[in-house]
Structure 1
Amino acid sequence: MRTRAEGLASSLPPLLAEAEQLANSVLTGSHGRRRAGVGDEFWQYRPLSVGDEARMIDWRRSARSDTHYIREREWQGAQSVLIWVDASSAMGFTGDASRPAKSDRARLLALALSVLLVRAGERVGLANLGQPPRAGRLSLVRMAEALTGDALDGGEYGVPDTTGLPPHSRAVFISDFLGDPAAVEESLGKATDRSVRGALLQVLDPVEETFPFNGRTIFESMGGGVRHETLKAGGLKERYLDRLAERKGRLDELGRLSGWLYTCHHTGDSAQAALLWLYSALDRSR
């Protein structure tokens, strides 16, 4: 899975997860902020001014003119990003053997997102591991080991884990969000209390979006806790689609009220498009 995730990540430009509150997380990394400060990347030359020390002069650039120039570097800050991946039984569903299960797509996207964030110098963590976000490739190894496990052990439906969210950080919740929406609202409330913003990615199978059922049908949850048999499945379609649209609308509204961004991704669609959206969402939710 890590090889697939890195392959997916390698085709995208390095988009940066920018922070709204950076004062408490200033580090030297590969994440430029387009202003002078501590960092490795060159930003600009400027003329020597009163108060500048002689050791700051770039003598090679200054030799080409009658003015002494200072070589400024970019101020760089590393942002903490915590990712929660729904491990509930519901995520094991797929409506077609040719499509990945929702859990497989969610794990792939979480790891690909982590690959890009680490390349950009960010600190990344997996809420499921119960560990704080860390920088470097070793964190990817730990995450890959956790995400490649076969077992789904989160009950019927998942609830976002906000236990290890650092204040003023970013977060990503990846789930089908088909459980109790009040639990998601509570999790977003806790995140907002810590000045955490981020992205909600709802992962659904196309079957869950179109409800292509007719006649006698038995509906059973992946965990076996819910079972419903009907002789007229087609008669449920309109009500089901209305409820699904209502759920999506509530997630979008919860996101907007909390300063988060929401979108729905289908397992039959491009994983690359979802990954690009995630990076853009992290960059915009500031």
Structure 2
Amino acid sequence: MALSPTRVLPAEARTPGRRETESALELAERMPRLILEARRVSTTLAHGLHGRRRAGPGESFWQFRPFVAGEAAARIDWRRSARDDRLYVREREWEAAHNIWFWVDRSASMGFASHLAQAPKVERALVLAFALADTLVEGGERVGLLGLTRAVTSRRIVETLAQALVGDGAGLTNDAPPRATPGRFDEAILVSDFLSPLSEVKASVDAIAAHGTHGHLVAIADPVEETFPFSGQAVLHDPETNRSLAIGDAGAWGDAYRDRLAAHRAGLAEIARAQGWTLTLHRTDRPASEAALRLLTLVAAARGTG
């Protein structure tokens, strides 16, 4: 019986998939609260990504750099060059907006929340996406949902994304991003527990990256899924397929489970590395702001090297 490495519920969860499925279907009712939480997180982040520190056709001065043979003489800043015996070029900071695309996994496994978590995985994934979208738009970027919306710059971006997700019933049963084709200089942020087979994750990432799109994988994990703190009788459960396996001594499975999880995570890291993407692991017993700040840093770094 092929179970995904961390789709685990304690023995008292006797109705396979019901709790997670109902949680996903009731997501629309929770959206107002999630939007408020996302706004709170976004206020804790460094607002404005105008300081991308990359040369380009902007208006703000960035730096002087030495003139390189073969460049047009019109680019030389003669006033600065007159100070010593070298020629210098005045560079301006890149200020053009970019398209940043989000995908949030809302399938059944994302509804799981243990007693150690601050929120179900799907709620944390949505709060992260909304907070990042709000902050990125504030910084002048265009933001959209893969396969659902256009990339736009709007002060109501969070409400726009939430409305699109509420109307997307198909997303409740699909644990893979749509086969969208962002542009060469676009960026994708995929938020999921990534418990699907690695071959499926790789196919999705490769398809999105095929045209040069840079991206980030954000793996959301419940602390119980990470540690497997079970002993005695337990039920291993895959909410995506409703398959369950009752075991008599869960403690004896712990080491094998953690080894399998480590191998799965190593596979995710290799998928990201092969495309020049990043992988961020976020546990739902940690503040959402931690992962959001890391992602903003990674996006800014990608802008500086793109």
TM over 0.5: yes
Query: Are 1:6 and 2:39 matched, yes or no?
Result: yes
Counterparts of 1:268-279 in structure 2, within 5 Å, are 268-279=285-296
Query: Are 1:172 and 2:189 matched, yes or no?
Result: yes
Q: Deviation string for 1:200-220 (max 9, x for gaps)? A: 110000000010111111222
Residues 243/72 of structure 1: CA separation in 2 closer, same or farther (3 Å cut): closer
Structure 2 equivalent of residue 113 of structure 1: 132
Structure 1 equivalent of residue 98 of structure 2: 79
Residues 223/165 of structure 1: CA separation in 2 closer, same or farther (3 Å cut): same
Residues 153/75 of structure 1: CA separation in 2 closer, same or farther (3 Å cut): closer
Q: Which ranges of structure 2 fall in alignment gaps of 5 or more residues? A: 1-33, 65-72, 76-89
Structure 2 equivalent of residue 95 of structure 1: 114
CA contact under 8 A between 1:131 and 1:164: conserved in structure 2? no
Secondary structure of 1:137's aligned partner: coil
> Shift of the alpha carbon at 1:281?
1.7
Query: Are 1:204 and 2:221 matched, yes or no?
Result: yes
Secondary structure of 1:115's aligned partner: helix
> Shift of the alpha carbon at 1:105?
0.2
CA contact under 8 A between 1:85 and 1:175: conserved in structure 2? yes
Task: Tell me the distance in 1 between the aligned counterparts of 2:115 and 2:168.
Answer: 19
CA contact under 8 A between 2:48 and 2:140: conserved in structure 1? no
Q: Which ranges of structure 1 fall in alignment gaps of 5 or more residues? A: 17-29, 53-70
- Name the TM-score, length of structure 2 as normaliser: 0.72
Task: Tell me the distance in 2 between the aligned counterparts of 1:149 and 1:36.
Answer: 39
Which of 218, 225, 228 is equivalent to 2:245? 228
Task: Tell me the distance in 1 between the aligned counterparts of 2:100 and 2:54.
Answer: 21
Q: Deviation string for 1:137-196 (max 9, x for gaps)? A: 2433211324568979533x7112241523321000100011111111011111221101
Residues 81/187 of structure 1: CA separation in 2 closer, same or farther (3 Å cut): same
Instruction: Report the AA paired with residue 12 of structure 1.
Output: L
Task: Tell me the distance in 2 between the aligned counterparts of 1:162 and 1:15.
Answer: 30
Residues 36/9 of structure 1: CA separation in 2 closer, same or farther (3 Å cut): same
Of all paired residues, the percent bearing the same amino acid is: 33
Number of residue-to-residue matches in the alignment: 248
Counterparts of 1:142-221 in structure 2, within 5 Å, are 142-147=160-165, 153-155=171-173, 158-221=175-238
Cα-Cα RMSD: 2.8
> Shift of the alpha carbon at 1:97?
7.4
Query: Are 1:135 and 2:135 matched, yes or no?
Result: no
CA contact under 8 A between 2:149 and 2:164: conserved in structure 1? no
> Shift of the alpha carbon at 1:7?
1.6
CA contact under 8 A between 1:93 and 1:222: conserved in structure 2? no
Counterparts of 1:34-53 in structure 2, within 5 Å, are 35=55, 37-39=57-59, 41=60
Q: Deviation string for 1:84-127 (max 9, x for gaps)? A: 00011000001117620000000000000001100000000112
- Name the TM-score, length of structure 1 as normaliser: 0.77
CA contact under 8 A between 2:189 and 2:217: conserved in structure 1? yes
Residues 251/194 of structure 1: CA separation in 2 closer, same or farther (3 Å cut): same
